[in-house]
Structure 1
Amino acid sequence: MNWPPVLIGALALLALSTALGLLWKARSGRARRAPAALSPVLTPAELADAAGTPALFGTRATLLQFSTEFCARCPQTRVLLSGVAAAHEGVRTVEVDLGQRADLARRFRVMQTPTVLVLDASGAVHTRIGGAPERRTLTRAIEQILGEDSHVAAIR
């Protein structure tokens, strides 16, 4: 067996795997703002549980977490979302198990769990976070919505 080509191939594969892993980690937990024109609007009825009970949205914003039964980071994300929601009046959390709602996984192209959507009072998606979010990222996304909400209220 000719070892130099095998070693070069193995090193190239290792370098590629490392680069892809670092890229995946860098993108995980980052917030992306949804373009207003393409922002889907969700209703509580669309996120109803198995019994048909509609989800309870916040009056000013909603943190929607897509999770699965076997997601290792979903429980800590649930706690984080609850804490951020509790710190802001009119903000609630909703969790959807994609094992029960595969239609939503396809609709929102959820490729990893947790995935968090930040919705405004009308149910429009403002921000999407793939992977476990950081507190400051969530707080910034909520404050952007609440700031817009306050600005609109001041104009009226």
Structure 2
Amino acid sequence: MDLVAALAIGAALVAAATAVGLVWRARQGRAVGGSGERVRPASLGVEAGRFGERATLVQFSTEFCSRCPAAARLLGGIADETPGARHVEVDLTHRADLARRFDVTQTPTTLVVDADGIVRTRIGGAPRADVVRARLDEVLGRQHVDIR
């Protein structure tokens, strides 16, 4: 193989890897519509009183997730500043049944659940504060103003 062909192949591999990385990064923290499934605290292995009166941010984590502690701090802070909202963290390390049931393929994964326990939004990857607040406002029926 001559030098020009080798350089062309190398450049094509770098371009392909960069494209894949950019697509992956763009999908992180992106919110998609919820499944509409009803979630009960008992089905997650948490106490009934742990869900919020108006909304719950359910975070699926694992012991080895490096982004999960930061996500928990973010979600906990947002829940604390939102009346009627709570944050619940569910460790999937020893609960593969929950990972399958909720189709969790990456951690953290966050579900925004309304007062009736209906999954309204799903956020895959590290959540972004603006996205969480906007989706939580939708669930609570509040106007969301994004100031940047």
1:93 aligns with 2:53: no
1:79 aligns with 2:76: no
> CA separation in 2, counterparts of 1:16 and 1:3?
20
Contact preservation (8 Å) 1:47, 1:54: no
Q: TM-score, normalised by structure 2?
A: 0.88
2:145 corresponding residue in structure 1:
none
State the AA in 1 paired with 2:26.
A
Contact preservation (8 Å) 1:58, 1:91: yes
Q: 1:6 offset after TM fit, Å? A: 2.8
1:43 corresponding residue in structure 2:
40
State the AA in 2 paired with 1:3.
L
> CA separation in 2, counterparts of 1:86 and 1:131?
21
2:135 corresponding residue in structure 1:
141
1:15 corresponding residue in structure 2:
15
SS in 2 for 1:133: coil
Q: 1:117 offset after TM fit, Å? A: 0.5
> CA separation in 2, counterparts of 1:12 and 1:108?
37
Q: Size of the alignment, in residue pairs? A: 142
State the AA in 2 paired with 1:27.
R
Q: 1:113 offset after TM fit, Å? A: 1.0
SS in 2 for 1:113: coil
1:109-128 correspondence runs (5 A)? 109-128=103-122
Q: 1:54 offset after TM fit, Å? A: 5.1
Structure 2 residue runs without a partner (length 5+): 143-148
Q: TM-score, normalised by structure 1?
A: 0.84
> CA separation in 1, counterparts of 2:102 and 2:24?
19
> CA separation in 2, counterparts of 1:55 and 1:104?
20
Structure 1 residue runs without a partner (length 5+): 149-156
> CA separation in 1, counterparts of 2:98 and 2:29?
20
> CA separation in 1, counterparts of 2:24 and 2:136?
25
Moved over 4 A (4+): none
1:60 aligns with 2:54: yes
Q: 1:9 offset after TM fit, Å? A: 2.0
State the AA in 1 paired with 2:89.
E
Q: Percent sequence identity over matched residues?
A: 51
